[in-house]
Amino acid sequence: MSKRIPSGVIRSTIVTGLVAGMALSMPVGAAAQNAATHVAPPSATLHGLTAGEWSARWWKWALETPASENPLLDETGVNCAVNQTGRVWFLAGMLSSGQVMRSCTVPNGVSLFIPVANAFCVPDPGTTGTFEQQRACASGFIAQLTSMQAELDGVPIKNLTTYRALSPAFELDFPADDIFGVGDVTLQPAAADGFYLTVRPLPPGSHTLHVRAVFGSDAIDVTYNLTVA
């Protein structure tokens, strides 16, 4: 291992959000109805998996992708289709405080799984730790969240705190070119905590996703300009 993680755990704040729906020229009432239709309830499953189970898959997608094409580091959206498979697409946020605007083309009929604010922990290379310890670590990081918001074509998605999901235990297979500089290694057990939105397939056309989340002094603002092909 060429580099150790100095904190003792890998921690990450990945924030992204949702503003999606019909054209911006829609009446507000119609847009609100569209939001209610396409954003699934917090307890809903997606293709038989809970939000917590999808969150583990999201983290594997986000962290097992090499830095050279990792969507978390993407400032334009050019990498939004990297490693996307099946009928569910993941959307990335950011690793640190800042603002980004991305453009992304999404296939018709695909659901979106989107973190509003989330965190994960895993033992440092060469060390051990229990799943319960990693979950407590991730939840402690989420406890630092001071505010968050998500919108659907300008219409706020309400009751975001009800969308919290805890992952089961999972492992992370970091590539040689990973975004943390950990190197080619598998670490476990990993645990994640956060707030996620499940978006049912959107109608073809243009959509806009935006979120702002604040962790203490760090504010993260992400906008997605989506085209459903």
pLDDT digits (tens, 9 = 90+) for 32-73: 555 657 889 999 999 999 999 999 999 999 999 999 999 999
Domain membership of residue 17 (yes or no) is: no
Q: For 187, what's the count of Cα atoms within 13 Å in the CB-facing half-sphere?
A: 30
CA 41 → CA 12, 91, 128, distances in Å?
Answer: 26, 19, 36
We report the CATH number of the domain holding residue 152 as 2.60.40.10
pLDDT digits (tens, 9 = 90+) for 145-167: 999 999 877 788 899 999 999 99
Residue 143 confidence (pLDDT): 96
Residue ranges of E strands in 91-158: 98-106, 111-121, 145-152, 155-156
How high does pLDDT run on average in the chain? 85
Structural domain boundaries enclosing 128: 28-228
Average pLDDT rounded to a whole number, residues 202-221: 89
Domain membership of residue 13 (yes or no) is: no
Domain membership of residue 224 (yes or no) is: yes
Domain membership of residue 6 (yes or no) is: no
Q: Which amino acid is at 54?
A: W
Q: pTM for the whole thing?
A: 0.86
Q: How many independent structural domains does the chain possess?
A: 1
Nearest to 15 by CA among 157, 168, 180, 149: 149
Q: How far apart are CA 23 and CA 138, in angstroms?
A: 37
Domain membership of residue 121 (yes or no) is: yes
